[in-house]
Chain A
Amino acid sequence: MALTLNGSANTIGGLAVGGVPDGTIDTDALAANAVVTGKITDATIATADLSAGVAKGVAKAWFIADNDGGSQAGNRNSWNIDSWTDHGTGDISVTFTNDFANVNYVAVGVMDQSAWNFRWTSSTSGSGYATMLMTSDRAVGSCRMQFVTTSGSMQDAAGWTYVFFGD
C-alpha cells in the first residue's frame, strides 16, 4: 500500500509495521498515559524492569510441599525452586533456579501440623512440645530448613510452606 498523506484529516496512511524506526518516536512524542498495561505483553515485564522498591517487595521464591516432597519438589506448588532434598526427619533443603545476590535474604516458613505442636508450654501436663522452625545453611543458591522441638530433636510435619524475599 502506498503511503498517503491527508492534509485535511491530518492522518498518514499506508505506514507498514516497522515503518517508524526505533529512536524516531521518543517519550516526549507520546501523550501522557498513552501506553497502558493492556498494550504490554506480560512476558515483557521482568523483575529487573520494576523499580527497586517494588522489586524488593516481590517474593523471589516460594514453595508448598508435602513432608517428603512428594514426587516432585514443591509438589503442591512452587516458584523459582529447582529441587527439594529430604535429609532426614524434619530436615530439608531447596535450591533456587535463580540465585539470590547475597545471603542476606529473608526466609519465612510455616508448617502444616497439628495445633498441639505449636504450643509453647513446658509440657508438664504432657500436653505437647514447643517447636521451632529454623533456617540453617543459608546460601545464595540454596537454603536448608529444620523443624525442631525444644528437646532438640527434629520432627516431621505434614507439609512445608516457605517464602523467600531478597535481592
Chain B
Amino acid sequence: MAQVIIYTNDAGGASITKASTGWTGTLDELAKKLNLSNYEIVDESKVPTERTFRNAWVKGSGVVTEDVTKSKALAHNTRREKRAEEFKPYDETISLNIPGTDTSAAETSRAAIRTKYATMQTNIDNATDIAGIKTALGG
C-alpha cells in the first residue's frame, strides 16, 4: 500500500500529498520540501475514498476522517441547491406571470417541493453518521 502525507491545511481541512514516481527521496524529505511541520505519513488506506463530503475531511491521529458536523453543513448546501433547481421553473411561471400558465398550480408545486426539502432538512439534522446524511440526501 502506498503511503501519503496528511496534514491540516489553512482552512482546517485535511490535505493529502502523494509523491510522484519521479520523486526519489523519502516522504519526510518531501514534507520538508513542502515546508510542512505538523504532518503524518500514513498508508493510503487511512484516507477516505468516497468524496461526497470531501471538504468535511479532517486529520485525526494517523487517519483522515469525515467530520459529521461539517458534512451536515455541506449536505444542507446541496439540499438548498437541489431545492432552488426544482423551484426554478415554477418561480419563473409566477414571477413572469406568463399568459396561459396556471400560477396556482405552480404555487401548489412549490409547496410540495418545500415540504419535501423540509423533511430532508430534518433528516439531515437528525442523522448521526455520514451514511445517515447521505441517505437523507437521497444518495
Could you list which residues of chain A lie within 8 angstroms of chain B, going by C-beta atoms?
63, 67-75, 78-89, 95, 97, 124, 126, 141, 151, 153-154, 156
The verdict on B28 contacting chain A, using a C-beta distance below 8 Å, is no
Q: How many A-B residue pairs have CB under 8 A?
A: 88
User: Which of chain A's residues have a CB closer than 8 A to the CB of B107?
Assistant: none
A97 CB contacts on chain B under 8 angstroms? 20, 22-23
B22 touches A78 (CB 8 A): yes
Say yes or no for B76: interface residue by CB 8 A criterion: no
Name which residue of chain B comes closest to A67, CB basis.
B51
- Interface 0/1 of B34-77, CB less than 8 Å to A: 10000000001000010100110100000000000000000001
Q: Is the CB of B17 within 8 A of A71?
A: no
Complex formed: what's the CA distance from A38 to B129 in Å?
Answer: 65
A-B contact pairs, 15 of them (CB 8 A): A68-B16, A71-B44, A72-B2, A73-B19, A74-B21, A78-B20, A81-B22, A82-B33, A84-B18, A88-B13, A88-B54, A126-B85, A126-B89, A154-B55, A156-B51
Residues of A within 8 A of B16 (CB): 68-69, 85-86
Residues in B with CB closer than 8 Å to A80 are 22
Given contacts A71-B18, A82-B33, A85-B15, could you give 18 more A-B pairs where the C-beta distance is less than 8 Å? Answer: A63-B20, A68-B16, A72-B18, A73-B20, A78-B20, A78-B21, A79-B22, A80-B22, A82-B23, A84-B17, A84-B18, A85-B34, A87-B11, A88-B55, A97-B23, A124-B88, A124-B92, A126-B85
What separation, in Å, do the CA atoms of A75 and B88 have in the docked complex?
A: 41
* B30 contacts partner chain A, Cβ-Cβ < 8 Å: yes
Chain A residues with CB under 8 A of B17: 73, 83-86
Interface residues of chain B: helix, strand, loop or mixed (majority)? mixed
Give Cα distance in the complex from A69 to B21, angstroms. 12
Q: Contact: B92 with A81, CB < 8 Å?
A: no
Task: Rank and list the top 9 A-B pairs by shortest CB-CB distance, nearest first.
Answer: A73-B20, A85-B17, A71-B2, A89-B54, A73-B18, A86-B16, A69-B18, A88-B55, A81-B20
Residue of A nearest to B17 (CB): A85
Given A95-B34, A126-B88, do A82 and B54 touch, yes or no (CB 8 Å)? no
Across the two chains, which residue of chain B brings its CB closest to A84?
B18
- A97 to B9: give the CA distance in the assembly, Å: 22
Question: Which residues of A sit under 8 angstroms from B23, Cβ to Cβ?
Answer: 73, 82-83, 97
